[in-house]
Amino acid sequence: MQLELNSIKKSFDSKQVLKGINFTFEQGKIYGLLGRNGAGKTTLFNCLSGEINTDEGKAFLISNGQKSDLMPQSIGYVFSTPILPEFLTGYEFIKFYIDINKDIIKSDRTVDDYFDLLQISPDDRYRLIKGYSHGMKNKLQMLCFIISKPPIILLDEPLTSLDVVVALEIKKLLREMRQDHIILFSTHILQLATDMCDEIVVLNDGELEQIDHNIIRSQGFEEKIIHILKDENEA
CATH number of 152's domain: 3.40.50.300
Alpha-helical (H) ranges within 4-151 are 41-49, 90-100, 111-117, 122-125, 134-148
Domain total of the chain: 1
Smallest Cα–Cα separation from 157: which of 111, 188, 116, 112? 188
pLDDT at 52: 93
Residue 62: strand, helix, or coil: strand
Percent of the chain with pLDDT over 90: 41
Are the C-beta atoms of 76 and 152 separated by less than 8 Å?
A: yes
pLDDT at 145: 86
pLDDT at 158: 72
Query: In angstroms, rounded to a whole number, what is the distance separating the alpha carbons of residues 157 and 165?
Result: 17
Q: Which pTM does this prediction carry?
A: 0.85
Q: How does pLDDT run across 33-49, given as a tens digit for each residue?
A: 988 878 889 999 999 99
The one-letter code for the residue type at 48 is: L
Question: Which of the four pLDDT bands, split at 50, 70 and 90, describes residue 163?
Answer: low
Question: Which of the four pLDDT bands, split at 50, 70 and 90, describes residue 162?
Answer: low
- Contacts of 200 by beta carbon, 8 Å cutoff, 6+ apart: 31, 32, 34, 193, 194, 210, 211, 216, 225
The string of DSSP letters for 150-217 reads: -SEEEEES-STTS-HHHHHHHHHHHHHHGGGSEEEEEES-HHHHHHH-SEEEEEETTEEEEPPGGGTT
Beta bridge partners of 75: 152
82: containing domain = 2-234
**Backbone phi and psi for residue 150, each to the nearest 5 degrees, phi listed first:** -65, 155
- pLDDT value at 85 more than 50: yes
CA angle 6/7/10 to nearest 5° reads 125
Q: How does pLDDT run across 90-110, given as a tens digit for each residue?
A: 999 999 999 998 888 878 889
pLDDT at 48: 93
DSSP structure class, residue 53 = -
Average the pLDDT over 121-140 and give the result. Answer: 90
- pLDDT value at 170 more than 80: no
Q: How many other CB atoms sit within 10 Å of the CB of residue 61?
A: 19
Q: How many other CB atoms sit within 10 Å of the CB of residue 14?
A: 5
The string of DSSP letters for 8-31 reads: EEEEETTEEEEEEEEEEEETT-EE
Q: How does pLDDT run across 209-235, given as a tens digit for each residue?
A: 888 777 777 777 777 777 777 653 444
